[in-house]
């Protein structure tokens, strides 16, 4: 499967794309299009519009690959084209995502206050008994592992657009904080807050799922 193959180094990748190598283009398309679609959804109003933004991005890549100067990684360059393309579509659809300042709902606590010891109690502010974050034990069963991936994907898709954008760039596409700040034109502080909240919400979803898999996995093991 092309999507399972490792991509060659940028220098090789760029040259093959410039040479019109269809197999290499299909390899990159399969490797990046999924996360590109999720990212585009943060800026536009419908999945169809996001798909068009991704298609327009790939067309721009084909047309502009000869001018790629290598000042950033190829992936960063492609994603920057995507962000600009999706932003332009979002503006036409009157759906913009302002990243310059935080929204009120993004500045509150990321963990339910009931999980901490109340003021006046010993060790106030620390985790309450039985509420401490538990280590994740990913089931060895390959079916359950597949379910975990589905849970993560669904949880990311359900995040508010700004949070989904940042966590997609950081934890799915693998960008560093400086690259994300540059792509989205946001401050390091805002990027940290958005990423922290996104990860906290994602962790909550995984906690809920994994806490219910232990007896299921155990049951399968006894069968």
- Let me know: does 198 contact 217? Beta carbons within 8 Å: no
**Residue 12 belongs to a domain:** yes
36 vs 51: CA distance, rounded Å: 9
Q: Are residues 17 and 51 in the same domain?
A: yes
* Number of separate domains in the chain: 2
pLDDT tier, 215 (very low <50, low <70, confident <90, very high otherwise): very low
pLDDT tier, 119 (very low <50, low <70, confident <90, very high otherwise): confident
DSSP helix/strand/coil, 108: coil
pLDDT on residue 185? 82
Task: Give the range of the structural domain holding residue 70, as residue numbers without chain letter.
Answer: 2-92
CA-based nearest residue to 41, from 219, 160, 188, 151? 160
Averaged pLDDT, 142-171: 79
Q: Are residues 61 and 12 in the same domain?
A: yes
Mean pLDDT of the chain: 78
Percent of the chain with pLDDT over 90: 26
pLDDT tier, 222 (very low <50, low <70, confident <90, very high otherwise): very low
Using the predicted structure, report yes or no on whether residue 194 has a pLDDT greater than 50: yes
pTM: 0.65
Using the predicted structure, report yes or no on whether residue 221 has a pLDDT greater than 80: no
Averaged pLDDT, 184-207: 87
pLDDT on residue 63? 94
Q: Calculate the alpha carbon distances from 75 to 32, 69, 72, 108, 122 in Å.
A: 8, 13, 8, 33, 50
Looking at per-residue pLDDT, the higher value among 119 and 91 belongs to 91
CATH number of the domain at 88, please: 1.10.1740.10
**Residue 217 belongs to a domain:** yes
Looking at per-residue pLDDT, the higher value among 183 and 65 belongs to 65
Q: Are residues 108 and 217 in the same domain?
A: yes
pLDDT on residue 7? 87
- Which pLDDT tens digit goes with each residue over 37-94? 988 988 888 899 999 999 999 999 999 999 999 888 899 899 999 999 998 888 887 7
**Residue 97 belongs to a domain:** no
């Amino acid at each position: 499967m092309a999507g399972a193959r490792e991509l060659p180094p940028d220098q090789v990748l760029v040259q093959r794309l410039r040479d019109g190598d269809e197999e290499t283009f299909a390899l990159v398309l399969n490797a990046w299009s999924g996360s590109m679609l999720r990212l585009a959804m943060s800026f536009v109003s419908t999945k169809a519009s996001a798909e068009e933004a991704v298609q327009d991005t790939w067309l721009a890549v084909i047309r502009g690959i000869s001018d790629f100067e290598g000042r950033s990684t190829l992936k960063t360059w492609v994603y920057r084209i995507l962000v600009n393309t999706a932003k332009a579509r979002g503006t036409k659809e009157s759906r913009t995502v302002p990243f310059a300042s935080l929204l009120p709902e993004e500045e509150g606590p990321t963990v339910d206050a009931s999980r901490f010891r109340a003021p006046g109690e010993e060790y106030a502010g620390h985790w309450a008994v039985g509420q401490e974050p538990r280590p994740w034990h990913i089931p060895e069963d390959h079916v359950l592992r597949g379910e975990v991936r589905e849970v993560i994907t669904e949880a990311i898709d359900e995040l508010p657009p700004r949070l989904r954008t940042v966590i997609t760039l950081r934890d799915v596409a693998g960008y560093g904080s400086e690259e994300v700040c540059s792509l989205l034109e946001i401050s390091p502080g805002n990027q940290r807050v958005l990423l922290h909240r996104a990860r906290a919400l994602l962790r909550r979803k995984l906690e809920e799922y994994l806490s219910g898999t232990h007896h299921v996995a155990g049951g399968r093991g006894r069968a």
